[in-house]
Structure 1
Amino acid sequence: MNQRSDIVERATVGAGRLGWAALVAVLFAGLIATLLWSIASGRYPVPLGHVLAILSARLAEVTPVWSPTELVVVEIVRLPRVLMAAVAGAGLSLSGAVLQGLFRNPLVGPQTIGASSGAALGGVTAILFFGFGVGVQAGAFLGAALALATVLAIHRSDGLSPILTLVLAGVVVSAFCGALVGLVTYVADPETKLPGIVFWLLGSFAAATWPKLGLICACTALSGAVMLGMRWRINALSLGDEDARTLGIDPVRDRLILLTATCLAISAQVAVSGTIGWVGLVIPNLARMIVGSDHRRLLPVATLMGATFLVAADTLARDLTPAEIPVGIVTAIVGTPVFAYLLRRNAAGKAR
Structure 2
Amino acid sequence: MRQHLLVVLLALLLAIAAIASLGLGRVDIPFVRVIEILASPWVEPPVPVSPMEWSVVAIVRLPRIAMSILAGAGLSLAGATLQGVFRNPLVGPQVVGVSAGAAFGGTLAILAGWQYLGLLGPAFAFGLSALLLVYTLSTAVSKSDILVLVLGGVIVSGFFGALVSLMQFLADSQDKLPVMVFWLLGSFATANADKAWLLAAPVLSCGAGLLMLRWRINILSMGDEDARALGVPVAALRWVVLLLTAMIVSAQVAVSGMIGWVGLVVPHLARMLAGADHRRLMPVSALLGGLFLLMVDNVARTTTAAEIPLGILTALIGTPVFAVLLWRNRRNA
Q: Same fold (TM over 0.5)?
A: yes
Q: Which residue of 2 aligns with 1:10?
A: none
Q: Which residue of 2 aligns with 1:210?
A: 193
Total equivalences in the alignment:
333
Q: Which amino acid aligns with 1:287?
A: A
Q: Which residue of 2 aligns with 1:188?
A: 171
Moved over 4 A (4+): none
Residue 172 of structure 1 is aligned with which of 134, 152, 155?
Answer: 155
Q: Are 1:109 and 1:281, in contact at CA under 8 Å, matched by a contact in 2?
A: yes
Q: Are 2:116 and 2:195, in contact at CA under 8 Å, matched by a contact in 1?
A: no
Specify whether residues 242 and 160 from structure 1 end up closer, same or farther in structure 2 by C-alpha distance, changes over 3 A only: closer
Residue 81 of structure 2 is aligned with which of 73, 98, 110?
Answer: 98
Q: Which residue of 2 aligns with 1:241?
A: 224
Q: Distance in 1 between matches of 2:141 and 2:151?
A: 13
Q: Which residue of 1 aligns with 2:93?
A: 110
Q: Which residue of 2 aligns with 1:324?
A: 307
Quick check: 1:279 aligned with 2:279? no
Quick check: 1:290 aligned with 2:273? yes
Q: Which residue of 2 aligns with 1:334?
A: 317
Q: Are 1:278 and 1:336, in contact at CA under 8 Å, matched by a contact in 2?
A: yes
Residue 200 of structure 1 is aligned with which of 143, 166, 183?
Answer: 183
Q: Distance in 2 between matches of 1:72 and 1:60?
A: 18
Q: Distance in 2 between matches of 1:38 and 1:346?
A: 37
Q: Are 1:40 and 1:47, in contact at CA under 8 Å, matched by a contact in 2?
A: yes
Q: Which residue of 2 aligns with 1:220?
A: 203
Q: Which residue of 2 aligns with 1:134?
A: 117
Deviation track 1:117-144 (CA, whole Å, cap 9, x = no partner) reads: 0000011101111332211000100010
Identity among equivalent pairs (%): 51
Quick check: 1:312 aligned with 2:299? no
Q: Which amino acid aligns with 2:126?
A: G
Q: Which amino acid aligns with 2:100?
A: S
Give the superposition deviation at 1:27.
Answer: 0.7
Q: Which residue of 1 aligns with 2:6?
A: 23
Query: Where do 5+ consecutive residues of structure 2 fail to align?
Result: none
Q: Which residue of 2 aligns with 1:344?
A: 327
Q: Distance in 1 between matches of 2:204 and 2:164?
A: 29
Deviation track 1:85-115 (CA, whole Å, cap 9, x = no partner) reads: 0001000000000000000000000000000
- SS at 1:156 equivalent: helix
Q: Which residue of 2 aligns with 1:15?
A: none
Q: Distance in 1 between matches of 2:140 and 2:259?
A: 30
Q: Distance in 2 between matches of 1:343 and 1:64?
A: 55
Residue 268 of structure 1 is aligned with which of 251, 268, 271?
Answer: 251
Quick check: 1:144 aligned with 2:112? no
Q: Distance in 2 between matches of 1:66 and 1:93?
A: 36
Q: Are 1:50 and 1:66, in contact at CA under 8 Å, matched by a contact in 2?
A: no
Q: Distance in 2 between matches of 1:338 and 1:88?
A: 20
Q: Distance in 1 between matches of 2:291 and 2:42?
A: 24
Q: Distance in 2 between matches of 1:341 and 1:57?
A: 48
- SS at 1:157 equivalent: helix
Specify whether residues 236 and 321 from structure 1 end up closer, same or farther in structure 2 by C-alpha distance, changes over 3 A only: same
Q: Are 2:72 and 2:291, in contact at CA under 8 Å, matched by a contact in 1?
A: yes
Quick check: 1:303 aligned with 2:286? yes
Q: Are 2:19 and 2:34, in contact at CA under 8 Å, matched by a contact in 1?
A: yes
Q: Distance in 1 between matches of 2:259 and 2:71?
A: 9
Q: Which amino acid aligns with 1:295?
A: H
- SS at 2:41 equivalent: coil
Give the superposition deviation at 1:58.
Answer: 3.2
Query: Where do 5+ consecutive residues of structure 1 fail to align?
Result: 1-17
Q: Which amino acid aligns with 2:296?
A: A
Give the superposition deviation at 1:68.
Answer: 2.6
Normalised by the length of structure 1, the TM-score is 0.92
**CA RMSD, Structure 1 to Structure 2 (Å):** 1.3
For the pair shown, the structure with the greater C-alpha radius of gyration is 1
Q: Distance in 1 between matches of 2:156 and 2:41?
A: 47
Give the superposition deviation at 1:30.
Answer: 1.3
Q: Which residue of 1 aligns with 2:239?
A: 256
Deviation track 1:263-299 (CA, whole Å, cap 9, x = no partner) reads: 0000010010001000000000111111111000000
Q: Are 1:137 and 1:271, in contact at CA under 8 Å, matched by a contact in 2?
A: yes
Normalised by the length of structure 2, the TM-score is 0.97
Q: Are 1:51 and 1:74, in contact at CA under 8 Å, matched by a contact in 2?
A: yes
